[in-house]
Chains A and B, each alone.
Chain A
Amino acid sequence: MAEPFLSLQGLSKAFGDTQILKDVSFTIDKGETMVICGPSGCGKSTLLRCLNGLEPVSSGALRLGEEQIDLSSPKTRENARTGTGLVFQNFNLFPHMSVMENLTLAPRRVLKLRAAEARKEAERLLELIGLSDRSAAYPFELSGGQRQRVAIARALAMKPQLLMFDEPTSALDPEKKEEVLGLIRELKRTEEVTMIVVTHEIGFGKNVADWAMLLEDGSIVEHGAASDFFTSPTSPRTQRFLKAIINA
């Protein structure tokens, strides 16, 4: 059998004496989507930040396609920044730049694309997110849903092997949520991006994700095919958790 496209082995992280992530491992194939849920403080966001190379970790190895990244070494950890993309809960667009500048800054400075090439790719992405007419707008002129779509395009412009979303819809109202979730669904279909989404949107998890995971206190409680996870979870903890979300 072929090696899985993405594999994470033994990721552990501590803040002082507190163990935030305990020996987390999983694999995902190319183009697949995994949903991670869990109570607040369980380490979901930290897990994404570690995969993105933003946080020092005590151990952990990430293989992304051909690339092998030792996350525990400060030197190689930074390589994860360009191989993976992260979409934040609060978008974190650059407020002083137009949508176009937000999308072209990193491709030009990091991927060393020429301005025209970067613009061309940005225009393609703007069409994909349905905001071709807003390329000159500043983030403050956009709605929350539009800002998040631009943030997704900004991450995509770096052509990441893995795209991660940290509760991408939790700062949005229900209508805008659908706008963003619809786009993520679209990305899976058309762009074949490998994705990890931290979210509590059960409908999205059921319909879009291939894999699902429940994280608690930095450990994996349950991990399996999304269809089983959301309809007939085996762990009582997962059952309780999903029930709480549905009743919320």
Chain B
Amino acid sequence: MDYSFNFGILFDYGDYLAGGLWYSVIIAFPSIIVATVLGMILAAMHLSPLRVLRILGSSYVDIFRTLPVVVLLIWIHYVLPILTGLSLSPTESSILALSMNGSALACEAYRGGLQAIPDTQRQAAWSLGLSKLDILRYVIIPQGFFSTLPALTNVHITIIKNVTVTVLIAVPEVMFRAQELTVQFFRPLELYTGAAIVYVALILSFTVAMRQLERLRKWESV
């Protein structure tokens, strides 16, 4: 291997590279919020007694879970304007794509989490005379929160990782900047390693925060 290392470039351009984090965050954060809320609504539609809502919910999940994120992103950014005349900025297109994909994934996380609650919990609550709304509020949601959390954290991590595909529509986030500097200085190893470190640090700090949330659980299932 005759590649001479020069990590000095990370000292010179490290802050420019890490500055791309701002874009990673302003894309990932809103997408995570939308996915978490919309995923919950979709999961509720899945459980709805109304057939129309169930079909709408499951069709949404089927479409956006199967559509590759790259295809979805490029379609939103380049095809949607042709169809509607509405053209979005690269950042807006990215948030839209990651939210749509993320909410389909989040819906499945919620469904899995709710299924983890044994049916006997509902029966016991119903037997005590509690209303359906009270069962949801006092029995299902408090338990479902914790049973959903690990899977939901995975969805959030996937959303953050998927921010890197926005490089394709020139959002100047970390990966895009690494590519840009590589073209200029021809230091792919140093720069892409730098980009990897930035993303790992971002996602690790996120998972540490989510783990704190999991620690709030004082009980164990019996």
Q: CB within 8 Å of B: which residues of A?
A: 52, 54, 81-82, 85-86, 88, 90-97, 105-106, 109-110, 138-140, 147, 154-155, 158
Contact = CB atoms under 8 A, between A and B. Distances in A.
30 contacts: A52-B127, A54-B127, A81-B126, A81-B128, A85-B127, A85-B128, A88-B120, A88-B123, A88-B124, A91-B222, A92-B120, A94-B139, A95-B219, A95-B220, A95-B221, A96-B146, A96-B219, A105-B138, A106-B128, A106-B130, A109-B130, A110-B129, A110-B130, A110-B131, A138-B218, A138-B219, A147-B222, A154-B128, A155-B128, A158-B128
B202 to A, nearest CB: 32
A158 B127 CA distance: 11
Which bracket fits the contact residues of B?
20 to 34
Given A96-B143, A138-B220, A105 B121 contact: no
Nearest to A137: B219
B142 interface: yes
Contacts of A139: 219, 222
B130 A105 contact: yes
Given A54-B123, A109-B131, A110-B129, 9 more contacts: A54-B126, A86-B127, A92-B124, A94-B124, A106-B128, A109-B134, A139-B219, A140-B221, A140-B222
B159 to A, nearest CB: 28
Interface of B: 120-121, 123-131, 134, 138-139, 142-143, 146, 217-222
Q: Which of A54, A93, A105 has the most CB of B within 10 A?
A: A105
A23 B142 CA distance: 41
A172 to B, nearest CB: 14
A147 B134 CA distance: 23
B128 A93 contact: no
Contacts of A106: 125, 128-130
A92 B219 CA distance: 15
A209 to B, nearest CB: 23
Q: Which 8 A-B pairs have the closest CB atoms?
A: A92-B124, A106-B128, A140-B220, A82-B129, A110-B129, A138-B219, A81-B129, A92-B120
